[in-house]
Chains A and B, each alone.
Chain A
Amino acid sequence: MATTQERVEEQVDLQPARPGEKHRSLSEDVWRQFKRHKGAMIGLVLLAIVVLASVIGPFVYPLDPYDIDTSLANMNPTWTHPMGTDNLGRDVMARVLIGGRISLAVGFAAMLFGLFLGTAVGVISGFFKKFDGPLMRVTDLFLALPILPLLLVVIMLFRESLKDAFGENVGIFILVVFIIGVTSWMQTARVVRGEVLAIKEEEFVLAAHSIGTRKRNVVMRHILPNVLSPVMVSAALGVASAVLTESALSFLGLGFPADFPTWGRLLFDAKGYLQLNPMRAIWPGVMICLAVMSVNFIGDGIRDALDPKARSK
């Protein structure tokens, strides 16, 4: 008896592709729609500026962020120090630029980690009934954990051992990313689980099974793309809250070492001088604001661009 392959081969009559017909790919479609979203484009430009300033800025900007000169302490913005100086006479702009590297890196890394964890937990508990109960209880458990005390304990416990294993900064980076990720995946998991539960019952999932699709592929090809919109929104919110949490951690003095600038650390250092030199607190605050806002806009745009119905309009 002929195999499926042979029977189909027999019938396929290969037509040469007509020249001049351009193939549309999914990523092109998404990009075309994304470009039309004004807010998202503004967000993209803003984020690009913030990222470039943090990555390249410190190389271009002439002043050293660690250069102490107490004779220049607590200056207001001038031409040589566009954002003024801090209480030790260090240039605030240089510190804000270099501080962005860590804040953004932590923000994106923690978001990716939390997103991956949340989506995995959500999809598994939504799709496989037997895991639903246990996984959702674990989610509830994490939701019920008081974050700040947890952070305090974890940092106290693991700071030293990680510092020994990976060095001061890398160790803290891993710790901070891990903690923020581990404490921020629950919302994503819940949203994704809800979506998966609804989509699982759709007839197209049954149809996918009926053409012999593997369970794994049903999840990856048919269910996951349908939950991408809420995932993208959580991603955007995730970056934002991760940047904010990192700032809060540094602000509490729990994050990176005291002389290591991040946006949160800069805020923390500035708080004692709010009356003397208020501008010093505003600059890192503005940067956090810009980063968070632009990422939110981009998330919005991606969500719209991923929806084929919005795309065809």
Chain B
Amino acid sequence: MTAQSPILEVKDLETQFHTQDGTVHAVNGVSFDLNSGEFLGVVGESGSGKSVTMMSLLRLIPMPPGKIVAGQAMFEGRDLLTLELEDLRTVRGGRIGFIFQDPLTSLNPVLTIGFQIMESLHIHTKLSDEKREARAIELLQLVGIPGAKKRLESYPHELSGGMRQRVMIAMSLACSPRVIIADEPTTALDVTIQAQIIEIIRDLREKLGTAVIWITHDLGVIAGLADRVLVMYGGLIVEEAPVGELYANPQHPYTEGLLGSIPRLDQKGMQLINIKGQPPSLYQKPDSCPFAPRCPYVFDRCREENPPLLEVKMGHSTACWWDMDNQRPRYGS
């Protein structure tokens, strides 16, 4: 893939939640780029900060208790994190679409799906009523809903889960955004529907050239879809690589553990590897490697210093003191 100018540049994003029990450091300095038209997978276990990172970009986290402490998110020449709320509204839905995890609760039960799809058009464009409706019908056809015109007048409860997720996708696509952020859009669906939704997203991306950020904890889904993958752990990006490279040659013990814990069809009888221990408490800012307590390769330096995310090969970065290829500490320590 040729080097493109990134459409979204995130630098040192830090998000915290100030709760009664203390401050939760949900995102601790995350930096990444998204190129236009790129499919970026973001993986990590629950509580690793995937969703909070992406929601922070559009300031969709509840504030308070949430707070974006530091960072920058440049999108079309503007910093989303400091943009006036009025201007941010034009980005939300207009330039960046968001698909939520649970299609069953993400649609308003008392409004027709037509209204909900057209609402975004109403906010961001000055299309006439007929054109808005035509666009809504077209969107529903695009995501593969039969009888689109009639469906505009349906209420969410009249549709199945898969249908509703398609409606959600149609909603997020309404204004042809440059970027779609999909937050585990298939976790609430069964496998066949999941495959259909993935197919739709892949299609749309080819047709419309939209960049996609796909958040998931399912490495299997990402494998066939993404160009590049970010692996998150404890509110940090611990590894970043093109998808093939990541699967063939993981450079972080956590990624290795994740890959080892996927059941595979071609290796019968092999025991799944589990990552022992628990995800880190986020009540403190990490001053050592957050994965150290669970890491099979841990050594002294891991407990003293948090490794920075550094490029170890072309396009492949990892935040680890251990050199997996040579099985020795990295950076001459």
Contacts and interface: CB of A to CB of B under 8 A. Distances in A.
B168 A15 contact: no
A203 B105 contact: yes
Interface in B83-118: 89-95, 97-98, 100-102, 105-112
Interface string A1-45: 100110111011111011001001010000000000000000000
Contact of B176 (A4, A225, A306): A4
Contacts of B94: 4, 212
A5 B106 CA distance: 25
Contacts of A306: 110
B92 A211 contact: yes
A147 interface: no
Contacts of A26: 112
Given A207-B168, A212-B90, A225-B111, A8 B105 contact: no
Contact of B137 (A15, A207, A225, A307): A15
Contacts, number: 125
A79 to B, nearest CB: 54
A212 B83 CA distance: 14
A312 B119 contact: no
A9 B132 CA distance: 10
Interface residues of A, number: 38
Interface of B: 58, 60, 76, 89-95, 97-98, 100-102, 105-112, 119-121, 123-127, 130-131, 134-135, 137-138, 149, 153, 155, 157-158, 168, 171-172, 174-176
A222 interface: yes
Contact of B108 (A1, A5, A214, A226): A226
Interface in A186-230: 202-204, 206-214, 221-222, 225-226, 228
A8 B175 contact: yes
Contacts of A221: 111, 119
B157 A308 contact: yes
A8 B102 contact: no
B134 A210 contact: no
B93 A212 contact: yes
Contacts of A209: 60, 92
Given A8-B121, A8-B125, A11-B135, A210 B60 contact: yes
Contact of B171 (A8, A24, A203, A207): A207
Given A4-B95, A211-B93, A12 B127 contact: yes
Nearest to B136: A12
B131 A309 contact: no
A210 B174 CA distance: 12
Nearest to B108: A204
